[in-house]
Amino acid sequence: MNLFYLVPCFGILALLYTFVKSAWVTKQDAGNDRMKEISTYIAEGAMAFLKAEYKVLGYFVVIAALLLAVMGYSSSNWLIAVAFIIGAVFSALAGLSVCVLLQKLMCVPHMLHVPASAKPSRFRLAAAP
Q: With CA atoms as reference, report the closest residue to 23 among 94, 92, 101, 98.
A: 101
**CB half-sphere exposure, 81, CA atoms < 13 A:** 19
Angle between helices 33-75 and 79-106 (to 10 degrees): 170
Q: How many CB atoms lie within 10 A of CB 115?
A: 5
The maximal CA–CA distance of the chain, rounded, in angstroms, is 63
Burial status of residue 104 (CB atoms within 10 A of its CB: 0-12, 13-18, 19 or more)? middle
- Contact by Cβ (8 Å): 107, 39: yes
The tens-digit pLDDT sequence of the chain (129 residues) is 677 888 888 989 988 998 888 788 778 777 778 877 887 888 888 888 888 988 999 999 999 999 988 887 777 787 888 899 999 998 888 888 877 777 766 666 555 555 555 555 544 555 544
Q: What is the pLDDT of residue 63?
A: 94
